[in-house]
Amino acid sequence: MVRADSVAALTAARALVRRSGGTVKQDLGVIHGFSATVPVFAVPQLNTMPGVRVTSDAAVRMKGMNSWADQVGITMLAPVIKAAGGDKADKDSPDDGVTPTGSVLTGAGVGVALIDSGVAPVKGLYNVGQVVYGPDLSFESQIANLRNLDTYGHGTHMAGIIAGNDPTSGTGLHGMAPGARIISLKVATADGATDVSQVIAAIDWVVAHRDDPGLNIRVLNLSFGTDSVQSAALDPLSFAVEQAWNKGIVAVVAAGNDGFAAGNLTMPAANPKVIAVGAADPMGTDARGDDTVASFTNRGNAVRHPDVLAAGRSIVSLRAPGSYIDRTYPTARISAALDPEQRLFRGSGTSQAAAVVSGAVALLLQQRPGLTPDQVKNLLMTTAIPIRNGDLYAAGAGQIDVVKAAGKKTPAYQQTTTATGLGKLEASRGSAHVYDSVTGAALTGETDIFGKPWAPATWTAAAKAQRSWTGGTWNGSAWTGTTWGASAVGQQAWTPVTWSGRSWSGAAWTGRSWSSAVWTGRSWSSETWLGRSWSGRSWSSAGWTGDPWR
């Protein structure tokens, strides 16, 4: 991927690609760039051009790609919500001893933090107050016209599943909790650049600001997951989500998309406290009787496996026009005959399933604001519907049933704390790294994106006391502004700050796991995105369907 700071630089870069015998493949206007194939000798020339940055992807190969080659099917969101009971869960709590009145839950008043690639202001997500933009901690935070916006397309898809609310009669998309508020924290860019330190910083910010006026953050949706090489008890990412949990935020985490052969869940789903979500395959029908566990779901093991399931194959939700997926793979768009406004596309993964569950959690917390995260988890697991002939581990307790969960009395249930967070930051990354776009060197070791040393004992103590953020400073560097600012794209937004240091000036860090090494023609022609992750196998989306509806 080639990006430029000006039209002149972009034109010159295109010319160099063609002179070197390369091919300009796709214009990526949203990020002022284009995708291309170029001879190896031309990469240094491109990198030395003023105002031009190159993301190399030749070294990346994702694991488990071929298992997605044969994905088919369409799963509309409305039947998913209906099957899970999201359209008829009653507002009246069973703890009150009153007869249900039939007043339906919407998630009103509940804030859902979405740590992802940003959210685009598309129809269904631009109602006043529906989306609040927290700090943009991504590498695109320094580009004003990209700040907070979804240049990749994943975050918008998740937001639509959780809280989409399009009032258009008959054709509007509604998420599981259309009355909930999305608090978007962007950590990933269009080329996949995100580091574990950015995700941890985002989680810490959510905890620190959960009670800010108008937010009421009670749910954290996280599709990020690494192949950490240390236990959940030591891992800092695991510790971060556990602190959110301990502060009253229900962490809903995608289990991962490595398939039944995966003997572990990705981190932080491996933390036993959080709600680890696997995906169900509706098998192309609205009824649940023929559902199976989606073959891409991480199976886990006897000690840790998915807690619950939700539909996660070929889920239809909102598209982000002009995003990387949208511009590079236009066949992902739904046909104009069935979607005249061209607002929808579909994708598969445990991330979609996690979004369904996050919406369900918002419904339960609207009904009973006093529920603890432990109680919410218990309600969902003890009322789940087992999948017939489901795998012992991968199926977890079964598919969520919001009606049953809403109708069950609040349990006396409490889990114990397990994580210390004293492990290594590098071990937490696993194989998920960002790379210097000039030298190709990976960001490794015990440093964050600004090169600041990682001191586990210092950070864990601060995070536990909710002092890891001081204004806009985290781990000794200024990551963002210090207060809420003016509206952005029609919604409230946190103020930004100009970054300094190697992470942005001089040599930008980039992610190598998107573009041609991950996205292939075959993956889209066979109705799927084969890459199981973002930024070096980190983001839990197993597929984006490509064929128009027939």
**Structural contact between residues 62 and 516, judged by C-beta atoms closer than 8 angstroms:** no
Q: How far apart are the first and last CA of the chain?
A: 32
DSSP state of 416: P
Active site residue 351: yes
Q: What's the distance, CA 402 to chain centroid?
A: 22
**Distance separating alpha carbons of residues 377 and 419, to the nearest angstrom:** 18
H-helix segments, 192-347: 196-208, 236-246, 324-328
**Distance separating alpha carbons of residues 235 and 456, to the nearest angstrom:** 10
Active site residue 32: no
Catalytic entry in 223, 351, 428, 538? 351
SS3 of 138-179: the string is CHHHHCCCCCCCCCCCHHHHHHHHHHCECCCCCCCCECCCCC
Distances (CA, A) of 208 to 129, 298, 463, 524: 20, 31, 9, 40
**Distance separating alpha carbons of residues 529 and 117, to the nearest angstrom:** 17
**Distance separating alpha carbons of residues 465 and 486, to the nearest angstrom:** 29
**Distance separating alpha carbons of residues 139 and 160, to the nearest angstrom:** 24
**Distance separating alpha carbons of residues 91 and 96, to the nearest angstrom:** 11
**Structural contact between residues 112 and 132, judged by C-beta atoms closer than 8 angstroms:** no
Return the C-alpha torsion angle 411, 417, 418, 423, nearest 10: 140
**Distance separating alpha carbons of residues 186 and 9, to the nearest angstrom:** 27
Active site residue 513: no
CB-based burial label for 160 (10 Å; 0-12, 13-18, 19+): buried
DSSP state of 20: T
Catalytic entry in 32, 67, 154, 323? 154
Distances (CA, A) of 229 to 233, 267, 430, 445: 12, 9, 6, 13
Catalytic entry in 57, 90, 116, 227? 116
DSSP calls for 214-241: TT-EEEEEE-B-B--SS-TTT-HHHHHH
Where in the sequence numbering do the catalytic residues fall?
Answer: 116, 154, 351
